[in-house]
Amino acid sequence: MNLLLALAQDMALASVPAVGFALVFNVPSRMLGYCAMGGAVGHGLRFLLVSEPVRMPIEWATLLAAAVVSLIGVQLARRLRAHPKVFTVAAMIPMVPGVPFFSALLAIVEINREGLTDALLQTAINSGLRALFIIGALAVGLAIPGLLFYRRRPVV
Amino acid sequence: MLSAVVKQVTLDEPGQREVTRLCVQAALTLLQHGAESALVESVARRLGVALGVESVEVAIMANAVTVTTLSGGQCVTTVRRNEDRGINMHVVTEVQRTMLDLEDGRLDRAGVAERLGAIRHFRHPRWLVALGIGLSCACFAALQKGDLRTCAVVFVASMLAMVVRQLFAPLHFNPLVTFFAAAFVATSVAAAAVLLELGATAKIAMASSVLLLVPGFPLINGVSDMVKGYINTGISRLVFALMLATATCGGILLGMAVWNTWGWS
């Protein structure tokens, strides 16, 4: 029950940034709902996969979550007569590792300013690699339908 | 079907020229508004074939696009320079629907020219975008277990940063300058809240309020392009995303130095 409550909260919180960034990307108004849904499903699924019973590494969880959102997006894209990326990229935004990305860059700047220390090097490499692999997982996950099912024909 | 009728007639030279121009216009419009390379290429090809040429070849570079059409043993090639116009999924959808309508026979060549020329740069209202971004970053803070006060500080900081971006946009600054300024404003508001002891957690407040500046779209598009074999455009997208992030870091550092509040470390 506790897990379900945490999941509901996670999904609700993730749907807001998906729509917020969809507004910046000028996604057409009638697709904003799908962005919210995609954001909630993706982030929620990743939350489930990394928490207690499954405990999957976050990169693999991200890959699976992105692939599921992308598969749903492909089905919707036909109906909406629009490329799935139009609304699935906005749905990925809540999963983009912004904090590790900036942490790594700031640590590199800090190394330049104060000299190399073990702590700074650790932050730079750990955060940087985490950001790199999660972003890779997001992009590859979104490409999964094209890689597996739509190899020689267009989605829309 | 209209497109079937068009296909039976071999195009004359002026006709082929016009088709080439329409293909490059569609490709350029997509590229300028944040479509990935695979989509740019496939839309230009399908548009050309549906308009009656035998084949369309597309070469995409970081700041130009080249289209060649083949028809009746004749080639027509044209190049257009690409200037980034900012991500606009509405425009991408309109170009794609024009192509789909042509394939379904609801449009002819003149109709395509008219539709492509009539695409307007739809934008959501500014206040709504700023509000949405404020709420988004507040939710990011909540996802990092920030309390209500922290979220409120992040809401104000990121909303103001978005307003800065909107104010800079019509002045045609380089995006690097815009991102630097927005990061400085967001960090300053968060730092001020920490200094005034408004009850915000420094690390979460400062980190979440700049998340509107993470170049998520170019990062995902860049990796996507490279996965699909467009290594060149992928690299240029990723390098540009990295430069935007570095400019953002500069703004964060300036903000932290001015207020002497080192929330990130």
CA distance A109 to chain B (A): 9
pLDDT (average), residues A35-59: 95
pLDDT (average), residues B63-67: 96
In this structure, the answer to whether residues B106 and B146 fall within a common structural domain is: no
Which domain-ending residue is among B85, B117, B149?
B117
* Edge-to-edge strand ranges of the sheet holding B64-71: B55-60, B64-71, B74-81
Sign of CA dihedral A59, A65, A70, A71: positive
Which domain-ending residue is among B117, B146, B165?
B117
- Is residue A67, in this structure, part of any structural domain at all? yes
In this structure, the answer to whether residues B203 and B160 fall within a common structural domain is: yes
Q: How confident is the model at residue B1 (pLDDT cuts 50, 70, 90)?
A: very low
pLDDT (average), residues A25-39: 96
pLDDT (average), residues B11-19: 93
pLDDT (average), residues A39-47: 97
- The total of structural domains in chain B comes to 2
- The total of structural domains in chain A comes to 1
- Is residue A54, in this structure, part of any structural domain at all? yes
In this structure, the answer to whether residues B132 and B104 fall within a common structural domain is: no
DSSP label at B35? -
Q: How confident is the model at residue A47 (pLDDT cuts 50, 70, 90)?
A: very high
Q: Is B133 on the interface with A (CB under 8 A)?
A: yes
Between chains, do A102 and B207 touch, taking CB under 8 Å as contact?
A: yes
Residues of A within 8 A of B217 (CB-CB) are 25, 89
- Is residue A156, in this structure, part of any structural domain at all? no
- Is residue B264, in this structure, part of any structural domain at all? no
In this structure, the answer to whether residues B147 and B248 fall within a common structural domain is: yes
Q: Which two tokens stand for residue A148?
A: 């597996």
Q: Look up the domain containing A23 and give its range.
A: 2-148
Q: Determine the pLDDT at residue B2.
A: 52
Does residue B6 surpass a pLDDT of 90? no
In this structure, the answer to whether residues B52 and B132 fall within a common structural domain is: no
Residues of B within 8 A of A21 (CB-CB) are 133, 136, 216
In this complex, which of B34, B97, B142 lies closest to A81 when CB atoms are compared? B97
- Is residue B16, in this structure, part of any structural domain at all? yes
Across chain A, mean pLDDT equals: 95
Q: Determine the pLDDT at residue B60.
A: 96
Across chain B, mean pLDDT equals: 93
Between chains, do B253 and A135 touch, taking CB under 8 Å as contact?
A: no
CA distance B80 to chain A (A): 24
More confident residue, A73 or B5: A73
Comparing alpha-carbon positions, the chain A residue that sits nearest to B264 is A103
Quick: pLDDT tens for B30-45. Answer: 999 999 999 999 999 9
Poorest-pLDDT segment among A79-93, B88-102, B190-204, B206-220? B190-204
Residues of A within 8 A of B129 (CB-CB) are 23-24
pLDDT (average), residues B95-100: 96
Q: Is B142 on the interface with A (CB under 8 A)?
A: yes
Size of interface A-B (CB pairs under 8 A): 151
ipTM entry: 0.95
Separation of alpha carbons A27 and A150, rounded Å: 24
Does residue B135 surpass a pLDDT of 90? yes
In this structure, the answer to whether residues B153 and B243 fall within a common structural domain is: yes
Q: Look up the domain containing B112 and give its range.
A: 2-117
- Is residue A142, in this structure, part of any structural domain at all? yes
Q: How confident is the model at residue B132 (pLDDT cuts 50, 70, 90)?
A: very high
pLDDT (average), residues B92-110: 95
- Is residue A154, in this structure, part of any structural domain at all? no
Residues 6+ apart with CB under 8 A from A70: A84, A88, A141, A142, A143, A144, A145
Q: pLDDT over 70 for what percent of chain B?
A: 97
pLDDT (average), residues A68-93: 96
Name the residue among B62, B33, B41, B61 with its Cα closest to residue B217: B33
Comparing alpha-carbon positions, the chain B residue that sits nearest to A131 is B219
Which domain-ending residue is among B117, B152, B174?
B117
